[in-house]
Chain A
Amino acid sequence: MTEREIAAGGTQAGLEPSPAALGDEHGKVEGRTQREIIWRRFKRHKLAMVGGVVLLLLFLAALAAPALAPYEYDEIDYTAINQGPNASHPMGADNLGRDELTRVLYGGRVSLLVGLSVGVFSTLLGAVVGIVAGYYGRFVDVGAMGFVDFMLTLPFLPVLLVLGKIYQFTAITIAAAVALLVWMPIARLVRGQVLSVRNQEYVQAAHAIGVSGPRTMLRHIFPNVVGVMVVQATLITGEAILIESALSFLGLGIQPPTPSWGNMLEDARTTMTTQWWLTYFPGLMIVVTVLCVNFLGDGLRDALDPKAVE
């Protein structure tokens, strides 16, 4: 057996054949692009697929809220005040007699928008700063990390309060403001990872070839720190939904009567023991969203890692 056969046999006799090996069996290695390989690997991750589908459904439901909701989100029905779940109000009604299901559907618009856009943008921002700082080192690193430290010293809520007083917050401006205030830990984490990846021999090989700095960061550094980033992005997403709710509680977030999962949860704080459905449903939605994002992140991380056990 030659070395080559041993290696080929190794991958095929392994627990599960790799996509490339599978391609060999069918004699069409040619047609499969990088993207297809990643997609195939992602599809095999059951939980991630479920997470993705549920998240998509939540999105569609939020988008189609006007069509799906049985009532208006600010429609007050005095006869339904504090009613538990029943036929006409499947998730019950709040202390003003507004339908909880309707409000959960509408609330998803704000919460999903804020959560996901904060997750994506703060991670990207943090990753860019972290990669550039870690890769170039020296004064770039000192400068960037100095700025990160400065941002970290800013008291989070007071800054948001000031911003909220100056600008009237909408879902989008909240997302932008929060993203600009939570990216720093990601930058530090990514930088740390970059410092170790940068010294790998394949990065030196890229230098020896003459690959430019930006290209090295994109092709060699970024793919090797993406795992850390994805995990952080999922955590931040959940956090952002809760931050929005804290802002709502302080009267700076989304203003009533417009619902968000966060402000619904905050409104229901005092009645948690008596009207459980008012905390239960918005809380459930937040948990489900964060869980789905987590699964999605897991699947994404594994799909992007060619060495991951499938």
Chain B
Amino acid sequence: MTEAPNGRAEAAGMPPGAPSGEYLLETRGLKMHFPIKAGVFKRTVGHVKAVDGVDLQVRQGETLGLVGESGCGKSTLARLILRLLEPTDGEVIFGGENILRYDRKQMLRVRRDMQIIFQDPYASLNPRMTVGNIIAEPLKTHGVGGSGAGERKRRVQELLEIVGLNPEHYNRYPHEFSGGQRQRIGVARAVALNPKLIICDEPVSALDVSIQAQVVNLLQDLQKEFGLTYVFIAHDLSVVKHISDRVAVMYLGKIAEISDRKGLYAEPRHPYTNALLSAIPVPDPEKERARRRVVLAGDVPSPANPPSGCVFHTRCPRAREYCKQHVPPLIPQDKDDGAEIGGKPDHRASCFFPVLEGQPINQRAEGTPYRVSDA
């Protein structure tokens, strides 16, 4: 790795000793098209393209933030990775193997290594089970954490302690806890099997702001302690900025832009990312007043009938005729970017006319379309 002029390489750097080009998790062309059925005979009249060709790479030990508006396919993507939904097309490569080809038995083994934390701490815990039983369930299912009930109880209490709850409360029901505490229970359940990867599906969105910080800190502590890898889904850009090593922005089932954190927040290239970032309020009244927002026109198009070409062209202030006819791939953004992951530059955006430094955003783009070969 060469010295990077902008310091980006450091943030995007591999954990020491990790083999180059090796990902813990990779998705290739992942698609989920939900059929729309209508009429008496339940004929399929169309598809909701919730996730439409997503390529993601997640390295061991990092946190990949995944942001996007409601309905852009973030949660569907999470469920596809865990095979809670069967994708229409594509591959999910975990630990070097395509787990979509796994049979039930192989899948069970992989589930020990990948877990999920859900958004709603009220819906994600079975109201009829005690907290102890909820946390013991993964242990029982996989036959770990001791064979006897006594041993398992000790492990459950240990887990409660790890996530900052009173171990004596294992016999209580979820409704006896507050939202933040319930989310901690969800975290305890997720880490019970010592997984490698945890998908956090908006784990703090439903929580009070002060509690959000506690849970985020807990997640970071656990990451340090157990070497966890996170895919952290959120729509709160500040939380994602705080926790992520790299960030991917989704729009209408596709990745709009992906970069290391600094690169994305400092130098957003995709017009959509620019618009998103300009919406973050600044906690300083004077700066807040001076903040210039990029307001997008219209609504997100229906994923059942996504626009042709670049899916963002209907709302993009920079869009040109070219954008309506051609689908932009994820184009590397830095010709001179020293940071290479598996031989590819780290900052990529699916835009033909990316917003370069100093360029106006609210204006139709000029020049020739950016191409993969340009990078």
Residues of A bordering B, CB below 8 Å: 3-4, 6-8, 10-11, 18, 20-21, 23-24, 29, 32, 34, 200-202, 204-212, 215, 219-220, 223-224, 304-307
Contacts and interface: CB of A to CB of B under 8 A. Distances in A.
B176 A205 contact: no
A305 B128 CA distance: 7
Contacts of A208: 82, 84, 111, 114-116
Nearest to A4: B166
Contact of A32 (B119, B142, B171, B175): B171
14 contacts: A3-B211, A6-B178, A20-B171, A29-B169, A29-B171, A208-B116, A209-B138, A223-B126, A223-B128, A224-B128, A305-B128, A306-B127, A307-B173, A307-B175
A214 to B, nearest CB: 12
A24 B168 contact: yes
B181 A210 contact: no
Given A7-B181, A32-B171, A202 B123 contact: yes
Nearest to A224: B128
Contact of A201 (B107, B120, B171, B193): B120
Contact of A29 (B107, B112, B168, B189): B168
B324 interface: no
B278 interface: no
Contacts of B193: 209
Contacts, number: 100
B176 A23 contact: no
Interface of B: 79, 82, 84, 107-108, 111-112, 114-116, 118-120, 123-130, 137-138, 141-142, 165-166, 168-169, 171-173, 175-178, 180-181, 186, 189, 193, 211, 214
Q: Which of A4, A201, A208 counts the most chain B CB atoms within 10 A?
A: A208
Nearest to A27: B168
Contacts of A224: 126-128
A210 B141 contact: yes
B176 A220 contact: no
Contacts of A220: 126, 129
A207 B84 contact: yes
Contacts of A10: 178
Nearest to A223: B128
A204 to B, nearest CB: 5
Contacts of A201: 118-120, 123-124
A11 B189 contact: no
A11 B79 CA distance: 35
Given A209-B137, A215-B141, 17 more contacts: A7-B181, A18-B173, A20-B172, A29-B168, A201-B123, A202-B124, A204-B116, A204-B124, A205-B116, A205-B118, A205-B189, A209-B115, A210-B108, A219-B126, A220-B126, A223-B129, A306-B175
Contact of B111 (A3, A32, A209): A209
A205 B183 CA distance: 13
A201 B119 CA distance: 9
Minimum-distance CB pairs A-B, first 3: A223-B128, A201-B124, A210-B111
Contacts of B142: 209-210
Given A201-B123, A202-B126, A3 B137 contact: no
